[in-house]
Amino acid sequence: MSTDQHADQQQDLYAGTNETTEGRVFTVTGQDWDTISQGVAEEADERVVVNMGPQHPSTHGVLRLILELEGETVTEARCGIGYLHTGIEKNMEYRSWVQGVTFCTRMDYLSPFFNEATYCLGVERLLDIEDQVPEKAQVMRVLLMELNRISSHLVAIATGGMEIGALTVMTIGFRERELVLDLFETITGLRMNHAFIRPGGVAQDLPPNAIGDLRDFTALMKKRLPEYAALCNANPIFKGRLEGVGHLDLEGCIALGLTGPVLRSTGYPWDLRKTQPYSGYEDYDFEVQTWDTSDSYGRFRVRLNEMWESLKIVEQATERLAGLEGAPVMIGDKKIAWPSQLAIGSDGMGNSLDHIRHIMGESMEALIHHFKLVTEGFRVPAGQAYVPVESPRGELGAHVVSDGGTRPFRAHFRDPSFTNLQATSVMSEGGMVSDIIVAIASIDPVMGGVDR
């Protein structure tokens, strides 16, 4: 075998290599500390290199920042990531297409429904069943995603407030988030890591009391959301801490591929729900929220305004669901529809005897098919698909590749936290050490999505 052939065999299918030959180059891993400190010492005695982390700043996840300081001014900032690596993408290659949902829901743990949605939309495109997903399933997906957007933004604002000492913002933020998690528990049975959105629809229909709970929630949130505006919007201390901090204009955002509130805070109305609608978002009445300051304060205002828009969508979805009583929530094709209408046993630990009796009483062929569908899964035609969604942090997309089998050949996620985290250096350098905390809080990265 020639050297070239051997090199081709070793080459990663999905990643190339490159080398930087100009300027100072540091590999930001655990071993390079001596190199960094020595390089800085040779250049300027008054500069120091400081490790900020690895730590868990608010609920973003374990992040390490390597800072080069001159006094309290940051002259260079680099992120050290990888402390939360889970191997989710690789694990998905060894599970069926439906089981993949239980993995990807755990990536960005503050917005699990968006992880599930982009993956399932990709699988449905490969199966060519996008038009067959029932209307009620689509409305339930939109409802859950918008509730999830509210809960995620509440965490972003609450923890961002906590980091700068605004503890009241934190306590009321988590108070409201509990209400959303209660709704998730009512509808899916779980507060997080739901695996509720499945290829072809959703796992279960709404429980009888869900519509009433949703209406109560929207009514209460209309009273609670103004509290954030009263506490923060015109608060001179809060504004003084955020205005002008973490500045990044539209040109910088586009150069780095940043999306979500960071991009919209520059005044650019890019939102995939409007520009590339999915799951029927074109049927809902809402506005894309922007600001024009390109700083941390603008990102806070965008998130606050987006919660109002999400509340409008939740109201519309609730009314639509009230008129879809008894409608199907899973595709009719039994070769794809993973058994969804499960009945739980009295101990809450397994299928009820009535449910098992129903399955076994249909026919031997139905029982065999049920067994094969659950254990082996359905086959997906060979091909690849990418269907992005607008998560609370920006464009989240799953690139799913099938070789025609019952498991993904490859599933790779474009997570906005990973892309947006690039902006840390640009936002921080030239500012004060304390401003780094504000800048990262305004990006709102979730390290589960960054490291995977």
Is 412 contained in some domain? yes
Residue 364 in any domain: the answer is no
Of residues 396 and 166, more confidently modeled: 396
Residues 166 and 289 in one domain: yes
Residue 102 lies in domain: 88-338+377-451
The predicted pLDDT at position 307 comes to 92
Reading the block at residue 58, the tokens are 């608010």
**pLDDT digit string (tens) for 389-403?**
999 999 999 999 999
Domain CATH for 245: 1.10.645.10
Q: How confident is the model at residue 72 (pLDDT cuts 50, 70, 90)?
A: confident
Does 168 share its domain with 280? yes
Per-residue confidence (pLDDT) for residue 302, from 0 to 100: 92
Q: CB neighbours of 25 closer than 8 A, spacing ≥ 6? A: none
State whether 99 and 148 are in the same domain: yes
Please give the full DSSP string across 345-397, using - where no structure is assigned: -TTSSSB-HHHHHHHHHH-HHHHHHHHHHHHT-----SEEEE--EEETTEEEE
Confidence of residue 437 (pLDDT cuts 50, 70, 90): confident
Question: Do 151 and 50 share a domain, yes or no?
Answer: no
Looking at the structure, tell me whether residues 196 and 289 fall in a common domain.
yes
Q: Is residue 65 part of a domain?
A: yes
pLDDT of 311-327, one tens digit each? Answer: 999 999 999 998 888 88
* Number of domains forming the structure of the chain: 2
> Mind listing the pLDDT tens digit for each residue in 377-435?
888 999 999 999 999 999 999 999 999 888 999 999 999 998 998 888 888 888 888 88
Looking at the fold, whether 172 and 72 belong to one and the same domain comes out as no
* pLDDT level of residue 340 (50, 70, 90 thresholds): low
Q: Which residues pair with 201 in a beta bridge?
A: 198, 330
* Lowest mean per-residue pLDDT among 25-29, 175-179, 200-204: 25-29
**240 has a pLDDT exceeding 70:** yes
| Among the ranges given (65-79, 144-158, 238-252, 336-350), the one the predictor scored with the smallest mean pLDDT | 336-350
47, 123: one domain: no
Q: 413 and 317, same structural domain?
A: yes
For 6-54, write each residue's pLDDT tens digit: 555 555 555 555 565 565 555 555 556 566 666 655 555 577 888 887 7
Residue 70 has pLDDT above 80, yes or no: yes
Q: Last residue of a domain, which of 34, 53, 80? A: 80
Q: For residue 5, name the pLDDT band (cuts at 50, 70, 90).
A: low
Check residue 424 and give its pLDDT. Answer: 87
**Residue 16 in tokens:** 């190339």
Residues 103 and 73 in one domain: no
| Alpha helices, H only, 58-190 | 88-92, 100-104, 112-127, 135-163, 167-188
User: What is the pLDDT, as a whole number, of residue 337?
Assistant: 80
pLDDT given for residue 401 in this prediction? 95
Instruction: Give the residue from 47, 80, 113 where a domain finishes.
Output: 80
Q: Assess whether pLDDT exceeds 90 at residue 365.
A: no
Residue 30 placed within a domain: yes
Do both 67 and 174 map to the same domain?
Answer: no
Q: Which residue has the higher pLDDT, 70 or 343?
A: 70
In a domain, 71, yes or no: yes
Q: Which pLDDT value is given to residue 348?
A: 62
Token output for 262: 């960071």
Do 217 and 178 lie in a common domain? yes
pLDDT above 70 (res 228) = yes
Band of pLDDT at residue 190, cut at 50, 70 and 90: confident
Residue that is last in its domain, among 63, 80, 97: 80
% of the chain residues with pLDDT over 70: 84
For residues 59-78, give the mean pLDDT. 81
Is the Cβ–Cβ distance between 201 and 117 less than 8 Å? Answer: no
372: in domain: no
What average pLDDT score do residues 226-254 get? 85
Does residue 359 belong to any structural domain of this protein?
A: no
**What pLDDT is stored for residue 231 in this prediction?**
80
User: DSSP letter at 233?
Assistant: I
Evaluate if residue 362 carries a pLDDT over 80: no
Q: Confidence band (pLDDT; 50, 70, 90) for 1? A: low
**In this structure, is residue 355 part of a structural domain?**
no
Q: How confident is the model at residue 126 (pLDDT cuts 50, 70, 90)?
A: very high
Residues 188 and 287 both lie in one domain = yes
Q: What is the mean pLDDT of residues 129-155?
A: 92
**Residue 99 — φ and ψ, nearest 5°?**
-65, -25
Entry pTM: 0.84
